Each structure stands twice: as C-alpha cells, then as structure tokens.
C-alpha cells in the first residue's frame, strides 16, 4: 500500500509538473514570442501594400530572420503585389534556408533573366522547374533558358544541371509544351540568322568591291599627282634656264641705257626654251583637268564605299545580335502564386489595343516594352524608375532595422544603407542614406 501510495503521489506530481510546463509555454515569454511571430506572418499574408508587408517583415526579422515561414510569406506577398524586385531579397534568404523552395529559385531566375544574365539565370530556373513542375511561368522561363543554352555554345554548367535539363521535358507537361515552343522559336531565329549571314556576306563582298574601286581611283590620283609634280619641276628648270640665258645676254649688252638687247646668235636658243615652257604649261593644264576628273570619280567611289561598308557593318551586327540573343518575341514572367501570375509592376507594358491581355500560357511570347508616355508628359526611363523604387524599398527596410534594439538588425541596417549609397548613388534615397550613415557614425 505504501509503495502504491508513493507511485500515485509521483504520478500526480508529474501531471502537475506537465501542466505547469504547458501553461508556461502558452503564457510565458517563449509562448508570447511564438504567438506574436505568428501574428506578424499573418499580417504579411493580409497586407495590401508593399509598405505594410515590409513593416511586418522587418519586425519578423528581429525575432527570427532564419524562419522559412517568414521569408516565404514575404516572398509570396511581394509576388502577389507585382514586386519581384523586392521579392528577390527573401528569395535569396529562403533559397539558403530551404533549398527545395521552388518559388525562391524561380524568383531569382526571373530577376537574372530580366537583366539578360541568361547563364546566371539558367541554374536557378532549372531548379525551380524541377521543384515546381506545375508552376507555368516558372516552366516558361526555364524552357526559354534551356532552349537558349542548347541553341549555341553558351559556356559551361554543372553536369547535374545538364542531366536535369534533359529530364525536364518529360517530367512536366507545362515545361514540355513551353520547351517545344521555345525550340521552334529558336529554329526560326537560327533561320533568320542564316538569312542575315547571307545578306551580311553579300554586303561585305560588295563593300570590298566598292573599296577596291575607291582605291583604284586613289592610286590613279596619286600617280597623276606625281606626274604633275614632275612636270612642275621641269617647268621650274626651263624657267631657270631661260632666266640664266636672259641674264647673260643682259650682262653682255653694251647699251648705254641698259636696255635688253639679246644677241642674234642666242635668239634661237631662247625661242627653243620658250617653246618647251609653253609645252610644259599646256601639259600641266591637261593634267590638272584630268586630275579633277579623277578626284571627282574618287570622291564618288569613296562615298559609295563608305555607304557599302556601313551597310555591311550593320548587317554583320544584326547577325551577331541574332546569334547572341533571344528571339524577339521572348519575355519573362515572375513565378505564379497559387496558380496566379501577377505581372511585374516595375515593367511598363504597351498601351492597350483593345484586345484581351495574354494570360500566363502565352504571355511568355510578349516582350517587355516601355509604355509610350502620354502627350505632354515626361517619363523617366524604366531603369531609373526601377532603381529609385528599389532604393526606396531598401531605405524603408533600413529605417525599420535601425529602430530595432537588436544589434544584428542594426548591422543589417548599415549594410542596406551602404548598398543604397553604392548601387543607387543618383537617387534621392541615396542622399538620405548618407545622412543616416553620418548620423549613426556620430553616435
């Protein structure tokens, strides 16, 4: 009985201890932290603006920056709001926390491809397609990049990526369909390049022929100039010879008034020199006229050669562009969230033509183009507006981090401010970032 009573007492004590621990987990500091963190994640999910989501995200980072739940929530929200440029930061964080987060790899691939960094975008794009085989925009982006890589010698990638590339068409119907269309587009691009190469080669031959024609006239003009100079030297020699003869006749003249009176025996010699001078002068006039004709023909040939060379250079450049680039009808889409692809709000789209906008299934064929500004308005280039938006977002995040008592968050704030000053020096946010850095340095 005593042993039974003791066991019963121990059991009761354990139950009380367990209840105490559970109560502590719900109302103690640790429990409050989890509850508050969950609310922060929920506020990110329900945010309707990038600013509201960023404020909640900054608070969440002060609690647990390495939380995949936090990073994924912020990534999803920014994609839903059409801001993949902001989503790039949580995507980078999430890819290290959870390497199987396909949405993160897809965002990183999209941002690289958008900047025409195709080789850098290839690896994350293939990873994203492997992890998200039903996410249509991810598969579209990956298919275009794989087709681009296979279309030419684009550099080296890891062996496992090459294997994955070969396996993807059969692993995903979405990827397979997009890959087929991309391959057909590159086939057309290759045909266009072949035609452009033929045009460039023909133009090069025509340009060389025109340049040879110009050189022929240039050589003729050079030879004519040398012959003209030779005749000028002969004329100078004849004139000097005549001057010497006249000088001798003058010195031998016994005329009291110093009049010139050539000796009869020198008159025939003088006449012979004068006839020679006249013939040389006649030749010079003929050579001048001939030289003018040659020069005119040479200048015409020079203009023709220059125009042909410019045309050949233009066609060669167009051929190289076709060889190095993507098909003109290629564009890029941010990853879809829950099956919905939100267009990138930082990329201006062409004005509506009254037709229904293309959905995710075909929108990869629509290139990103700057919108035409309305009459009387001045709009900054898209690159400038994107830089200002990115700088402003980073500045807001830096301010939120500065307001935290956590040393790690303050360090992150300084990193963000330094990045703004270095990368976005011409934006208003950079000027404010400098002021904040100066203020922080004075503390």
At 230-263, the pLDDT tens digits run: 989 999 998 898 888 877 766 665 454 555 555 5
What is the distance in angstroms between the CA of the first residue and the CA of the last residue of the chain? 72
Class (C level, CATH) for 2-188: mainly alpha
pLDDT score of 354: 34
Nearest CA among 380, 420, 383 for reference residue 398: 420
Rounded Cα distance between 220 and 59, Å, is 82
33: pLDDT strictly greater than 70: no
Calpha distance 225→120 (Å, rounded)? 60
Question: How many CB atoms within 10 Å of residue 437?
Answer: 17
- Token pair 């550099």: residue: 155
* pLDDT the model gives residue 373: 37
CA dihedral 393, 395, 399, 400 (to 10 degrees): 20
Domain boundaries, the chain: 2-188, 193-324, 373-441
Token duo for residue 419: 């990045």
Residue 377 has pLDDT above 60, yes or no: no
Task: Give percent above pLDDT 70 in the chain.
Answer: 77
Range with the lowest mean pLDDT among 63-77, 253-267, 341-355? 253-267
Output the CA angle 105-110-115, nearest 5 degrees: 130
SS (H, E, C) 134-156: CCHHHHHHHHHHHHHHHCCCCCC
- DSSP for residue 357: P
Phi, psi at residue 288, to the nearest 5°? -65, -45
> Which residues in 37-65 are b (16+ Cβ under 10 Å) and which e?
beebbebbeebeebeebbbbbbbbbbeeb
Q: What is the pLDDT of residue 426?
A: 87
pLDDT digits (tens, 9 = 90+) for 142-200: 999 998 888 876 667 777 777 787 777 767 888 888 888 988 998 988 898 899 999 99
Q: Are 50 and 312 in contact (CB under 8 A)?
A: no
Q: What are phi and psi of 302, to 5 degrees?
A: -65, -45
Whether 12 shows a pLDDT value over 50: the answer reads no
Decide if pLDDT at 24 tops 70: no
Q: Are 80 and 102 in contact (CB under 8 A)?
A: no
3-class SS at 199? helix
pLDDT at position 300:
92
Q: How far apart are CA 399 and CA 401, in angstroms?
A: 5
Average model confidence (pLDDT) across the chain: 79
Judge contact between 79 and 87, C-beta under 8 A: yes
Residue bearing tokens 């990869």: 364
Give the rounded distance of the alpha carbon of 32 from its chain centre.
49
């Amino acid at each position: 009985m005593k042993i039974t009573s003791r066991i019963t007492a121990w059991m009761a004590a354990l139950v009380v201890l367990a209840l105490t621990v559970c109560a502590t987990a719900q109302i103690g500091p640790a429990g409050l932290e989890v509850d508050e963190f969950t609310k922060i994640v929920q506020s990110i999910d329900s945010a309707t603006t990038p600013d509201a989501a960023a404020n909640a995200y900054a608070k969440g980072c002060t609690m647990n920056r390495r939380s995949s739940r936090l990073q994924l929530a912020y990534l999803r929200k920014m994609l839903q709001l059409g801001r993949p440029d902001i989503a790039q930061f949580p995507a980078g964080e999430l890819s290290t926390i959870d390497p199987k987060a396909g949405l993160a790899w897809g965002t990183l691939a999209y941002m690289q491809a958008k900047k025409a960094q195709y080789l850098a975008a290839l690896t994350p794009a293939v990873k994203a397609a492997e992890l998200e085989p039903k996410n249509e925009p991810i598969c579209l982006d990956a298919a275009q990049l794989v087709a681009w890589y296979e279309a030419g010698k684009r550099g080296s990638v890891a062996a496992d990526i090459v294997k994955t590339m070969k396996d993807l068409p059969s692993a995903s119907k979405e990827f397979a369909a997009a890959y087929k269309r991309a391959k057909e587009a590159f086939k057309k691009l290759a045909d266009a390049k072949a035609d452009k190469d033929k045009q460039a080669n023909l133009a090069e031959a025509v340009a060389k022929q025109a340049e040879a024609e110009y050189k022929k006239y240039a050589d003729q003009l050079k030879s004519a100039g040398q012959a003209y100079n030779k005749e000028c030297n002969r004329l100078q020699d004849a004139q000097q010879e005549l001057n010497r003869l006249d000088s001798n006749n003058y010195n031998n003249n016994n005329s009291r008034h110093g009049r010139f009176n050539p000796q009869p025996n020198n008159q025939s010699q003088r006449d012979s020199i004068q006839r020679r001078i006249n013939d040389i002068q006649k030749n010079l006039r003929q050579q001048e006229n001939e030289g003018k004709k040659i020069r005119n023909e040479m200048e015409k040939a020079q203009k023709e050669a220059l125009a042909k060379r410019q045309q050949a250079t233009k066609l060669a450049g167009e051929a190289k562009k076709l060889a190095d680039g993507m098909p003109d009808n290629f564009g890029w889409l941010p990853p879809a969230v829950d099956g919905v692809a939100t267009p990138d709000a930082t990329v201006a789209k062409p004005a509506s033509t009254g037709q229904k906008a293309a959905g995710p299934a075909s929108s990869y064929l629509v290139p990103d183009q700057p919108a035409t500004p309305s009459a009387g308005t001045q709009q900054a280039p898209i690159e400038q507006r994107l830089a200002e938006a990115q700088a402003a977002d980073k500045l807001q995040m830096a301010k939120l981090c500065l307001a935290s008592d956590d040393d790690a968050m303050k360090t992150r704030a300084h990193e963000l401010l330094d990045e703004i000053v270095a990368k976005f020096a011409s934006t208003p946010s950079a000027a404010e970032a400098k002021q904040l850095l100066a203020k922080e340095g004075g503390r």
